[in-house]
Structures are given as structure tokens and as C-alpha cells.
Amino acid sequence: MGTLSLANYEEVRISVPWGHISGRWHGNRTERPILAIHGWLDNLGTFDRLIPLLPDNVGVLCIDLPGHGRSSRLPPGMHYSVYDYVFVIPRVMKEYGWHKVSLMGHSLGGIMAFIYATLAPHTVDMVISLDILLPIPDDARGKDVDTFGRNMEKHLVEDERQEEGNLREPPAYTLPELRKVLSKGSYNSVPPREAQHLLYRQVAKSQLYPDRFFFSRDARVKFYYHIFLEKGLAAEMARRIQRKPYLIIKGSLSPFVGPHCDEAIAILGKNNPHFELHEVQGGTHHVHLHAAEECAQYIGPFIRHHRPPNLTTWSLAGRGEQLSSKERRQAQEQFFARSKHSKQRSKL
């Protein structure tokens, strides 16, 4: 078994009532893939460094959320909300006829995975959450109601600007400047040297200034709506997930998996041998981007254990032959023995 290739993908375009959802399906197209969902203001490029480190027996379908990357914007007058974004997951499932879904999400994508897993736990077979579980309390950065009020006003201003036909172009930058702007906007969670993984899907060439570019995502997504989940509600939601395989990776320098998550984490891990929580030292919020190798040490064994290879056929002596029941059983035992050993080593 090898790892995925970043170059081996197929562009996908999923029709939705307001346009389309863009994505890239990496690797195996014969089985249901892992659905990978990026964070707020990011796009599917956030997984570029992680993809080549993941096992290749399962494909990964990375998507751009509405208003991000190359996906369609919501219609004029509509607003973006974390709770409305959750509906993207069953839409993708319906497109491909999936009855189950494996989810991997960073930040906003991880919150979406948590919410969806509580609403339809019978359809989720595993969740990988990258430096997130619950929305971070706004009172850590400012009063929640005040933030909501300011964002509402800004959203309406942006709505008016777009209704006027985008008469003025957004601020334009050189590519080196864009790297710095993106890094600063992420509170330096995305190092400038990694910014290109996000920029190639969210910038457009300026029509006014040669060699300059501007951010092409929908500016309204900056003011998307979310409210901190009340403690009791978050706990009840975590109970609904029950004993699902759930992996959380936290960056040690990030506040996004903090005390506000303690009760939900305790519930997810109670009597659940399939729950894992790991911390990557020196990791910021985009830990999967700047510390992809460290994250893959935990994600790879988790995927191999909960989405093992289909062992009905193997290549023997260079020939694709049907395995006998005894041979298949022996191959499975050998695989799970290696997987268990790998998992134990990853915890050292």
C-alpha cells in the first residue's frame, strides 16, 4: 500500500440550485472517498500538503465551500451561515449515491462535520477533525452579540456593492504581497511560504494593474453567521455521536481546541475505543498545512484502521487473481496486525 499522489486527481463539478460546487477527487475512484472540507476563507488547497501523505486505498474528495475557491457564490441577498453550510454534506452524498460518509474537516469544515454527525450519526462512519471541535467562544475575542451586529452591517454593505455590479475592483496586490496579506489575515497560522496552496484557487488577475491580483472569493463570507454552542447543547450533540471513530488533532499553539471543548471531548471519548485526540507540538490553527508530516502520523493509521483496503482481490506474482477465503483471511490478519503495530508506534 502506498500514498496518494497530489497530481492524480479529477476535477469535479457538483450541480446545486445556486450554481455548482467545485472539487478535486484524489486517488481511488472505485470506492466511496473521504469528503474533505476546508476552513473559513480557505479552499480545498488547504489539503495539498496532507494529501500525498495519506494511504492510497481510499480516495479523498476535497471541495470548495460556496463562496470559496472556485465554487459558486450564494445568490444576492443571501447570507452565509455555518448551519446552512452543513447542508452541503448531504448534497454531495446525494450526488454520488452515498449512504455513508467519511468526513475530514479543518476549522469551519470540522465544525460542519461535528454538527452533521450529530444530526445524522447513522450515516457517518468516521470523522477526522483538524484543530477544531466546537465553535470557539466569541467572548474570547469580543462580545458575541456585538460581533454579530457589526458583521450584519458589513454584510449589508457588501450586498449593496455587489448589487451595483461590482463597479470597483477589490484591492490588488503582487503575489509576494498576497502571501503576506493572507498570512497576516490568518494571524500567521499560514506561513507565507505555504500561502500558495490557498492562493491559486482564490485570486483573479486585476484588469486595472498589470502583474497584480485580488481575492476572488465572495467578500460576504467574511461576515458569515455563527453563534457559540451553549454548553448543554454541545454536550447533548456529542452524546448523539456515540461511539463513532473520531480523531481530533490539535495544534499546541492554537486556542481552537480549548477548555470550551473539554466536556464534549470527555463524552466523545467515554467508553469509545475509536476516539483519539493528539496534539502536535508547535502547531498553529493550520497545523495540517505547515505540519502535514506530523498530522499524517496519526491520520494514516486512523484511516487504515477504520477504512481498511478492500481485500477481495490482490495482485499475486504480478497477476490479478481472486483470493481464496483462507488467503483473504490471512491477508486481513496480516494487515490488521501491521495496522495495530503502526498505531501503537504513532502514540509513542
Question: pTM score, two decimals?
Answer: 0.85
107 catalytic per annotation:
yes
Give the span between the Cα atoms of 85 and 89, in whole angstroms: 8
- Collapsing DSSP to helix, strand or coil, 295 comes out as helix
Alpha-carbon radius of gyration of the chain: 21
Strand blocks (E) in the chain: 9-16, 19-26, 34-37, 60-63, 101-106, 124-130, 203-205, 213-215, 246-251, 275-280, 313-316, 319-322
Give the span between the Cα atoms of 42 and 86, in whole angstroms: 16
CATH topology of domain 9-137+228-308: Rossmann fold (3.40.50)
Give the span between the Cα atoms of 332 and 324, in whole angstroms: 12
- Collapsing DSSP to helix, strand or coil, 26 comes out as strand
The set of cell numbers assigned to 117 is 454527525
Q: What are phi and psi of 268, to 5 degrees?
A: -60, -35
> What would the pLDDT profile of 91-101 be if each residue is shown by its tens digit?
999 999 999 99
* Model pLDDT, residue 316: 39
* Model pLDDT, residue 136: 85
Q: Which residues of the chain have pLDDT under 70?
A: 1, 138-144, 164-167, 227, 311-348
Domain ranges for the chain, please list them. Answer: 9-137+228-308, 144-223, 311-348
Q: Which one from 71, 72, 102, 107 is the annotated catalytic residue?
A: 107
* Model pLDDT, residue 261: 95
Contact 247, 129 (CB under 8 A): yes
